[in-house]
Chains A and B, each alone.
Chain A
């Protein structure tokens, strides 16, 4: 079976600084992978390289989505093929109405799948359904994208976008940062509802607490730009107890 995501010996740098140093990762449909690691391990870089952000140069290796290399694709093409990055710091976009943004995203993705575009009322209905489940009211959607949202509201909005766009591969970059315990529950429940045999997740986090709510199948430890250890969900608890120090030494 072709894996959903296959990262092979990935090397990447930014401004000549090497961040990823031969990272391997295989995610199959239906699996939830957690990537943990100390600050500076390259976790966020991995999420950006997978999503296609400008400024990162891949010097070696490949990234395959359902067997197809993504490295030459624009971020929008990757998104239309089912990659979704939930941002650690979602952007505020003054002047762009949230509904305009969501409808543009929905229709861009529908277009590449050969589906008819959604009319404005249809898009609003669809958004309303999904938003309601995450406790996002329509007043929030009337504001410009993420403008004036609290940290928790931004993360809920990210989860809402994810539910709306129904991606195949969800990348969650430090989704727990800036969340209090109640918001963490709401967001985790939103994510858990999306778990399905057809969908894979890569959950990037520094702390174990998110993984109490989004329970992973596989846990990886990342250090100095590569995976240094892989285990089951119990690995997360072990890390919480022992810290990352041993891995930092190993990598050095």
Chain B
């Protein structure tokens, strides 16, 4: 790694270096933040964009996929804000507290920043960095994985984002919805960094949606750090429906306290190139995570889900289920690593990745890894890939159900397992409709 990097720098790497050199105080933060940015960019610069010879990025060769570094998005104009507001539809009927992020900038005027429940604090990352908020400074980057280029770039260029704090014992019933909208008028990149800290015994439901309006090339790099205190619970869902002009890098970094509960679901139907990274640190004894996701792809879409679960304390439980439905020439990737530290006895971790290949030319790559240093654990993983079951299809058709509808039913059934654990009923039904929309849009039979 790193050999001849400077000699072989790609236009994208050169572009990023130039953009960083010209930042010049354009991004928020005091000297401490500036130092953090410089350290992060230096770490990135020493290796550059990852390529297929970098093990963790073997299937998502950013060096060849990202041909150029797009300019940082300008703050949205008033018209852009209106258009984005009118167009955002995902989870609209949910009654959630919406925090709206347009082209990488939080728009407080469109967000529900008032009437916060007791124990809930919401602010913007830009303000927190500018003001040198000590709380943010002490938490930011604590869940950072070692040497991850996407996270380093996010730290180097982070512009805005949300900071959410839930006080100890506070149960926030109303879900919080992070509404990401890209106007997509001009080619742009965004670097949003958010921090969510949920105190001991507190409870929060968090939803995140991504939409793009225009068709201009778009490179969002999203970082979200989540700290879940002892006995706290966080339910999280993400729905990615950006256009196929988007190259979406998302890094989700979670640290869990003792007996903390974390339920995660992510649905990806949009984006040309998507990398969803999840870094889990089960720091406290008896933490319990349920991580599920579904990637529904067609055309030339490429979606990579990479999960790293570090079991660092005894008695933690993890269930991970990921499903990919791959049509046309699309490519799905799952990399999952379960790592169990010597002290993490009685770990119970199970991971499953399954793909349904709807065409001869679709591709699924799966790389499960177990790294176990404790001797009294139960860990397992499994992977399957296959076509739709012809016998089941015939059974449905023999009752009069036409081929495309029969296939849709079977695909929904395949994906269904990843959705069944979502406790919030309206969120679940919105996501089920999103799956149905995807099927409708492509016509499953020739998808």
Contact = CB atoms under 8 A, between A and B. Distances in A.
B395 A91 contact: yes
B412 interface: yes
A211 interface: no
A74 B397 CA distance: 8
A105 B390 CA distance: 18
Interface residues of A, number: 29
A91 B392 contact: yes
B399 interface: yes
A5 B401 CA distance: 22
A119 B397 CA distance: 21
Contact of A93 (B392, B400, B402, B403): B392
Interface in A74-120: 74-76, 78-80, 84-85, 87, 90-91, 93-96, 100-101, 104-105, 108-109, 112
Interface residues of B, number: 22
Interface in A9-25: none
Contact of A95 (B391, B402, B403, B417): B417
A105 B399 contact: yes
Interface in B376-417: 390-392, 394-403, 405-406, 409-410, 412-414, 416-417
B402 A51 contact: no
Contact of A76 (B397, B412, B414): B397
A96 B401 contact: no
Nearest to A95: B413
A165 B400 contact: yes
A84 B396 CA distance: 12
Contacts of B400: 76, 79-80, 105, 108-109, 112, 165
Contact of A85 (B392, B398, B409): B398
A142 interface: no
A51 B410 CA distance: 20
Nearest to B395: A91
Nearest to A75: B397
B401 to A, nearest CB: 5
Q: Interface majority SS on B: helix, strand, loop or mixed?
A: helix
B390 A101 contact: no
Contacts of B402: 74, 76, 108
Contacts of B403: 74, 76
Contacts of B401: 76, 101, 104-105, 108
A76 B403 CA distance: 7
Contact of B414 (A95, A105, A108): A95
Contacts of A76: 397-403, 406
A53 B397 CA distance: 9
A94 B395 CA distance: 13
Contact of B398 (A75, A93, A96, A100): A75
A161 interface: yes
B399 A161 contact: yes
Given A76-B400, A95-B417, A101 B394 contact: no
Contacts of B409: 96, 100-101, 104
Interface in B168-183: none
Contact of B395 (A52, A93, A100, A112): A93
Contact of A96 (B390, B391, B397, B410): B410
Nearest to A164: B399
A146 B23 CA distance: 62
A54 interface: yes
Contact of B399 (A54, A100, A165): A165
Interface string B103-129: 000000000000000000000000000
A54 B391 CA distance: 9
Interface string B402-439: 11011001101110110000000000000000000000
Interface centre among B392, B395, B416 (most CB of A within 10 A): B395
Given A95-B412, A95-B413, A95-B416, A108 B395 contact: no
Contacts of A161: 399
Contacts of A87: 395, 398
Given A79-B400, A80-B400, A93 B405 contact: no
A165 B398 CA distance: 11
Nearest to A89: B391
A51 B391 CA distance: 13
A101 B399 CA distance: 9
A101 B396 contact: yes
15 contacts: A74-B397, A75-B394, A76-B398, A76-B406, A79-B397, A80-B400, A84-B398, A91-B391, A95-B412, A95-B413, A96-B410, A101-B409, A105-B401, A108-B399, A165-B399
5 A-B pairs with the lowest CB-CB distances in the bound complex, closest first: A95-B413, A79-B400, A105-B399, A75-B397, A91-B395
Given A84-B398, A95-B413, 17 more contacts: A53-B394, A53-B398, A54-B390, A76-B397, A78-B398, A79-B397, A87-B398, A90-B395, A91-B391, A93-B396, A93-B413, A95-B414, A95-B416, A100-B409, A104-B409, A105-B401, A144-B413
